[in-house]
């Protein structure tokens, strides 16, 4: 960005809730951009009606112009300004999952800012499950709000990481503590039948199929109308390797021993017995609970990025439900994937 912004931080409390809303809405309604909390990850928000503010989001994130933004609403009536078509599948999913971490793809209404849609004829919309942000949208109207991070890096889930990257690039940061979910929203296209999951996220395929019966995962290249699918994302700034299967603990021991001779290694695992792996190795256990693992995954990547030379991520305990989305983020952020050792 050409001119550095003086970034204000508000630590959100019950006592200052309304004052924070007043400040945040004032900034957004006058063309500013603000980091706001959601249940998934923090977002950088701007009014969808202010093209200059939308451009500031792209500059702050160093985001490619053809990567569309998700529009956040507080009431389904606001969809009337965004699309002329809401089919039955979309209505069912909205009724079941909104407010919540599900983004739906609609045909964009004529006149929608092309910066928001990435030049596409479709628009991505969700209703976040966060009291502050829902009330903020009531005061500002719909907000475009991609994740609060530099594009390609792990999404921002707590303020220390966000401030480090975005200080001087946004007008305001609203700090509500670490987010509840930790992974981005699931993005689903209901414009085709059966619907297609374009981006895996907090809402699993199994959960969606309880509402619309059949849903498929997108094929390679099919997800490009969804934010967060066209370019490399979720990657720390150091070499990261994902090992999908371990046939013997001895094989793992040999691998780690070899790599850690001249490097400090960070190992992320999910509830394995890692006793004895201490020499020049930093170990983080994200547990065998997928909700806990997803909440702290990005935070752990960012922590290790600052303290080790290389990250190794060990196999997941399961490949269903939320674990599918966690593995998606691991694979897309890794430099190397090893199927088995």
Same domain, 94 and 39: yes
Q: What is the pLDDT of residue 218?
A: 76
Within this chain, do residues 17 and 122 fall inside the same structural domain, yes or no? Answer: yes
| Distance in angstroms (rounded) separating the CA atoms of residues 122 and 107 | 4
What distances in angstroms separate CA 275 from CA 248, 255, 270, 293, 335, one per listed residue? 15, 16, 14, 20, 27
pLDDT digits (tens, 9 = 90+) for 269-312: 998 877 655 667 889 999 999 999 999 999 999 999 999 999 99
Residues 25 and 91 in one domain: yes
In-domain check, residue 137 = yes
Is 181 contained in some domain? Answer: yes
Per-residue pLDDT of 200-227, as tens digits, reads: 999 999 999 999 977 788 776 555 566 6
In a domain, 2, yes or no: no
Same domain, 64 and 190: yes
Asked, for residue 207, whether it belongs to a domain, the answer is yes
Query: How many domains does the structure of the chain reveal?
Result: 2
Asked if residue 139 belongs to a domain, the reply is yes
Instruction: Looking at the structure, tell me whether residues 120 and 190 fall in a common domain.
Output: yes
Q: According to the annotation, is 189 in a ligand binding site?
A: no
Q: Is 302 annotated as a binding-site member?
A: no
Classified as helix, coil or strand, 323 is helix
Residue 67 annotated as binding? yes
Domain range for 164? 8-225
How far apart, in whole angstroms, are the C-alpha atoms of residue 303 and residue 161? 9
Residue 3 is predicted with a pLDDT of 62
Interatomic CA distance for residues 145 and 329, integer angstroms:
20
User: Distance between CA atoms of 207 and 322, rounded to whole angstroms?
Assistant: 10
Tell me the pTM: 0.92
CATH of the domain at 267: 3.40.50.11030
Place of tokens 């994302």: 233
Q: Are residues 23 and 128 in the same domain?
A: yes
The predicted structure's pLDDT at residue 224: 59
Q: Is 190 labelled a binding residue?
A: no
Q: Are residues 73 and 162 in the same domain?
A: yes
- Classify residue 112: in a domain, yes or no: yes
CA distance 177 to 50: 28
**Is 230 contained in some domain?**
no
> Which single residue is written with the structure tokens 């009291």?
131
Distance (Å) of CA 334 to CA 119, 236, 241, 244, 251: 29, 8, 6, 12, 21
Q: Are residue 42 and residue 116 in the same domain, yes or no?
A: yes
Establish whether 147 is an annotated binding residue: yes
Give the DSSP per-residue string, 165-218. HHTTTSSEEEE--S-SS-SPPEEEE-SSSS-EEEE--SS-HHHHHHHHS--EEP
Question: Of 199, 225, 251, which closes a domain?
Answer: 225
**Residue 171 and residue 294 share a domain:** no
Are 180 and 277 part of one and the same domain? no
126 appears as a binding residue in the annotation? yes
Does the annotation list 287 as a binding residue?
Answer: no
63 is in an annotated binding site: yes
- Calculate helix-pair angle for 17-29, 131-140, nearest 10 degrees: 40
Q: Give a three-class secondary structure readout of 245-261.
A: CCCCHHHHHHHHHHHCC
The domain that contains 170 carries what CATH number?
3.90.870.10
**pLDDT lower than 50: segments of the chain:** 1
State yes or no: 122 annotated in a binding site. Answer: yes
Q: Which two tokens stand for residue 24?
A: 């945040």
Of 165, 194, 225, which marks where a domain is finished? 225
Query: Are residue 189 and residue 300 in the same domain, yes or no?
Result: no
180 appears as a binding residue in the annotation = no
Q: How are strands ordered across the β-sheet holding 70-72?
A: 8-11, 172-175, 34-36, 43-47, 143-144, 70-72, 122-126, 102-107, 186-189, 196-199, 216-217
Among the three residues 190, 225, 260, which one is the final residue of a domain in this structure? 225
Domain assignment present for 116: yes
Q: Are residues 244 and 221 in the same domain?
A: no
């Amino acid at each position: 960005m050409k001119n550095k912004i003086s970034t204000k931080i508000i630590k959100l409390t019950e006592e200052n809730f309304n004052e924070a809303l007043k400040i945040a809405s004032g900034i957004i309604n006058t063309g500013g951009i603000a980091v706001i909390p959601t249940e998934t990850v923090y977002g950088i928000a701007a009014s969808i009606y202010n093209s200059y503010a939308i451009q500031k989001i792209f500059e702050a994130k160093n985001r490619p112009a053809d990567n569309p933004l998700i529009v956040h609403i507080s009431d389904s009536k606001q969809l009337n300004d965004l699309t002329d078509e809401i089919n039955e599948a979309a209505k069912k999913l909205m009724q079941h999952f909104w407010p919540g971490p599900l983004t739906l793809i609609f045909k964009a209404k004529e006149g929608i800012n092309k910066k928001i849609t990435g030049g596409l004829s479709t628009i991505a919309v969700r209703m976040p499950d966060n009291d502050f942000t829902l009330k903020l949208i009531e005061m500002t109207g719909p907000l475009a709000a991609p994740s609060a991070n530099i594009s390609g890096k792990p999404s921002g889930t707590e303020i220390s990481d966000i401030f480090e990257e975005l200080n001087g690039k946004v007008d305001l940061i609203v700090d509500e503590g670490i987010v509840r979910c930790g992974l981005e929203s699931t993005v689903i296209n209901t414009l085709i039948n059966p619907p297609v999951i374009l981006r895996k996220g907090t809402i699993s395929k199994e959960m969606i199929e309880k509402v619309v019966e059949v849903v498929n995962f997108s094929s390679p290249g099919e997800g490009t109308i969804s934010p967060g699918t066209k370019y490399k994302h979720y990657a720390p700034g150091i070499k990261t390797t994902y090992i999908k299967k371990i046939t013997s603990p001895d094989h793992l021991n040999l691998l780690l021993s070899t790599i850690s001779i001249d490097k400090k290694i960070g190992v992320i695992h999910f509830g394995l017995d890692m006793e004895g792996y201490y020499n020049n190795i930093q170990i983080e256990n994200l547990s065998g609970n997928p909700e806990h693992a997803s909440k702290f995954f990005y935070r752990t990547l960012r922590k290790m990025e600052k303290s080790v030379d290389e990250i190794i991520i060990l196999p997941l305990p399961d490949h269903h439900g939320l674990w599918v989305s966690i593995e998606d983020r691991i694979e897309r952020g890794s430099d190397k994937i090893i199927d088995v050792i």
